[in-house]
Amino acid sequence: MSKFSTRLIRWHKTNGRKDLPWQKKRTPYKVWISEIMLQQTQVSTATPYFKRFIKEFPNVKKLAETNLDHVLSHWSGLGYYARARNIYEAAKIISSKHKGKVPNSLEELISLPGIGKSTAGAILALGYKKKAAILDGNVKRVLARHRKIEGELSLPSTTKNLWQISEKLLPNDQIDVYTQSIMDLGATVCTKSNPTCEHCPVNQDCLALTQGLVETLPTKSKSKPKPIKKVFWLIPQGPEGDLLLEKRNKKGLWGGLWSFIESEEKEALEDEFHSRFKTKYLNLKRLNKVKHNFSHYKLEAIPYLAELKTQKKYKNSVWVNPKNVESLGLPTPIKRTIEQITTS
Ligand code: SF4
């Protein structure tokens, strides 16, 4: 066993995280759901979502039997909704092809929607105690520093190098403890900024530490400023105050979630409205601009509330009481806009 893994396993006994909700009565299913939720999401944010999700969908069967709307409503506000759509699709495949049992081979796991090599490795190591490597963001950072890997993390050559290191370091025993400990080290000690190297169990032979490179590794990608996408939203409001929402196309951003009538040109909003209602609104009120950061661009939306005399419904639309939208899958900016309306 490598010194690296021996030290980490020993360290984990006294310093590892042991109370995370997905660690209680751990199953491959819980590992899978938690790993997907933790992509691009902090533990503190993911925790209440995970608890609610597992309560509602305690196993693959329950998840596969529900509908996408129900799954999305439990993901509402967590962002990156393709994750929820993939989880649902994968659950249906596991249910029909694998009798509801999360597969225990790398090949079968990575053939499922939304499961990459690192997630599959975590399911195998933590859920099945099988020897498999992981390479999530935390592990990349730990290994890049400890082994002084200087290429940008976004480069395929760097990833390939880090995978080889991650696989080489695997212990033959206690793979679950080791996997959890390297995750914990990245999350609690070898953090992005201000790592506490003095408490690190592998600081004796960390190349970044001995060569004064902790602050510069991993090498940051040259980031370009994010473009701004401007859109206009039209929100029909009925005489009783109900709002009209439209379900987005399954594919693309916010696929399957509920949103407003949208256009990139303010002038085109009127046409969009007319094509649906064949009438004119009574009054149009501009609301406060809503901003939201996506991984590749910044969204700036200007919502308009359009008062109507009557409520008309069409395909993939729903009239809702704005104070009662909990059961719908809503992206955060849409939720914030509805809050604006209910509090104004
Ligand atoms: S010594 Fe510091 S930089 Fe090196 S692995 Fe430990 S925490 Fe990370």
Question: Relative to the CA of 200, which ligand 1 atom is closest?
Answer: 6
Q: Ligand 1: which residues within 6 Å by Cβ?
A: 142, 145-146, 189-190, 195, 197, 200, 202-203, 206, 208-209, 214
Same domain, 161 and 235: no
pLDDT number for residue 165: 98
Q: What are phi and psi of 168, to 5 degrees?
A: -65, -30
Same domain, 184 and 244: no
Compute the distance between CA of residue 142 and CA of residue 163 in angstroms, rounded to an integer: 12
Amino acid at 68: L
| 255 CA from centroid of ligand 1 (Å) | 40
User: Catalytic pick from 35, 152, 246, 339?
Assistant: 35
pLDDT number for residue 196: 98
Considering the domain boundaries, does residue 146 fall inside one?
no
Same domain, 121 and 50: yes
- CA 58, chain centre distance (Å): 19
User: Could you tell me the pTM of the whole model?
Assistant: 0.84
- What does the DSSP assignment read for 160-174? HHHHHHHHHT--SS-
Same domain, 115 and 248: no
Peptide bond between residue 218 and the one before it cis (omega within 30 degrees of 0): yes
| 275 CA from centroid of ligand 1 (Å) | 60
From 197, 198, 204, 207, give the residue whose CB has the most ligand 1 atoms within 8 Å, as the site to mutate: 197
pLDDT number for residue 258: 94
Q: The domain containing residue 35 runs over which residues?
A: 3-134+152-188
Question: Could you tell me if 325 and 241 are in contact, meaning their C-beta atoms sit under 8 angstroms apart?
Answer: no
Question: Could you tell me if 140 and 192 are in contact, meaning their C-beta atoms sit under 8 angstroms apart?
Answer: no
Same domain, 287 and 174: no
pLDDT number for residue 229: 94
CATH code at 175?
1.10.340.30
CATH code at 290?
3.90.79.10
Q: Is 35 a catalytic residue?
A: yes
Question: Relative to the CA of 196, which ligand 1 atom is closest?
Answer: 7
pLDDT in tens, 9-45: 999 999 999 999 999 999 999 999 999 999 989 999 9
Same domain, 102 and 234: no
∠ CA 237-286-309, rounded to 5°: 25
Considering the domain boundaries, does residue 280 fall inside one?
yes
Same domain, 263 and 314: yes
pLDDT number for residue 35: 97
| 2 CA from centroid of ligand 1 (Å) | 17
pLDDT number for residue 270: 86
Considering the domain boundaries, does residue 223 fall inside one?
no
Same domain, 11 and 160: yes
Considering the domain boundaries, does residue 215 fall inside one?
no
Two structure tokens written together for 80: 């990156």
Compute the distance between CA of residue 193 and CA of residue 203 in angstroms, rounded to an integer: 16
Same domain, 112 and 10: yes
Same domain, 241 and 318: yes
Question: Could you tell me if 113 and 172 are in contact, meaning their C-beta atoms sit under 8 angstroms apart?
Answer: no
Same domain, 25 and 156: yes
List Cα–Cα distances, 208 to 150, 222, 229, in angstroms. Answer: 10, 21, 39
From 209, 210, 216, 219, give the residue whose CB has the most ligand 1 atoms within 8 Å, as the site to mutate: 209
pLDDT number for residue 289: 96
Considering the domain boundaries, does residue 47 fall inside one?
yes
| 195 CA from centroid of ligand 1 (Å) | 7
Residue labelled with tokens 């990139």: 264
List CB contacts of 210: < 8 A, sequence separation 6 or more.
none
pLDDT number for residue 43: 94
From 162, 184, 190, give the residue whose CB has the most ligand 1 atoms within 8 Å, as the site to mutate: 190
Considering the domain boundaries, does residue 209 fall inside one?
no
For ligand 1, atom 2, name the residue with the nearest CA: 197
How many structural domains is the chain composed of?
2
Question: Relative to the CA of 202, which ligand 1 atom is closest?
Answer: 6
Point out which residues pair with 236 in neighbouring strands: 306
Same domain, 13 and 129: yes
* DSSP E strand boundaries for the chain: 228-237, 243-247, 258-259, 261-263, 283-286, 290-293, 298-307, 317-320
pLDDT number for residue 59: 97
pLDDT number for residue 280: 83
| 262 CA from centroid of ligand 1 (Å) | 48
pLDDT number for residue 180: 97
- What does the DSSP assignment read for 89-143? HHHHHHHHHSTTPPP-SHHHHHTSTT--HHHHHHIIIIIS--------HHHHHHH
26 burial class (0-12, 13-18, 19+ CB within 10 angstroms)? middle
pLDDT number for residue 221: 80
Considering the domain boundaries, does residue 201 fall inside one?
no
Considering the domain boundaries, does residue 140 fall inside one?
no
Ranges under pLDDT 70 in the chain = none
